[in-house]
Amino acid sequence: MKPPSDPLHHRTAEQQAALDVSRGDRDRALHAMHALEAASATAGPGRDQEWRDAITAALDDLVEAIAEQQASYADPGSLMAQLAQDDPRLRTWVRQLHHRWSGLASATRDLAMDLRDADTAGSRSIDDVREQVRWLSAALQHHRAREADLIFDALGVNIAGPARIRA
């Protein structure tokens, strides 16, 4: 299915509502990721427990944001579900995004649990945790880009920015 020539005028209220929910989910996850990146960039040595507590709190926020987006993915009325339903060629792409998002959710939860369970002199160095945060950030950015590509391909909408339409 190719996007309509004028997507703003042909989008249903249901599609627009699903698009708005998806944008909100993406914004929450991005905000939580930025907070995690900021926390990991603060000084760690000499204040290990305080640093780990800040990272754990930021990870908890990211876990929550990812879970909210994952719940949206599972909703049959979600944008991804609508795209998969409306355009069979997108179903595999949507499934891959869901699978990848589940992996990101697990990795984020696991890191938060590992930090929470570790003692102050835990097995994870500050540098190791920072590297895992960089990996999570890169993986989240990659996922966001793939999702934006899919939505743009299907609807002609750049979900990563203001409501711009493909010419």
Distance CA 152, CA 155 (A): 5
The rounded mean pLDDT for the chain is 86
Binning pLDDT at 50, 70 and 90, where does residue 161 land? low
Distance CA 167, CA 164 (A): 9
In this prediction, residue 78 carries a pLDDT of: 92
Task: Please compute the mean of the pLDDT values over residues 39-51 and round it to a whole number.
Answer: 91
In this prediction, residue 9 carries a pLDDT of: 44
Residue 157 pairs in a beta bridge with 165
CB within 8 Å of 99: residues ≥ 6 apart: none
Phi, psi values for residue 161, rounded to 5°: -135, -165
Please determine, for residue 153, whether its predicted confidence score (pLDDT) is greater than 80. Answer: yes
Helix (H) or strand (E) holding 59: helix 48-74
Per-residue buried b or exposed e for 115-124, using 16+ beta carbons within 10 Å of the residue's own CB: beeeeeeeee
Task: Please compute the mean of the pLDDT values over residues 145-154 and round it to a whole number.
Answer: 92
Residue percentage of the chain with pLDDT more than 70: 87
- Per-residue pLDDT tens for 80-129? 999 999 899 999 999 999 999 999 999 999 999 988 887 655 567 899 99
In this prediction, residue 137 carries a pLDDT of: 96
3 state DSSP class of 165: strand
CB within 8 Å of 147: residues ≥ 6 apart: 26, 97, 159
- Per-residue pLDDT tens for 57-77? 999 999 999 999 999 888 999
Distance of CA 43 to the CA centre of its chain: 26
8-state DSSP, 158: -
- The domains of the chain, with CATH numbers, are 12-155 (1.20.1420)
In this prediction, residue 37 carries a pLDDT of: 96
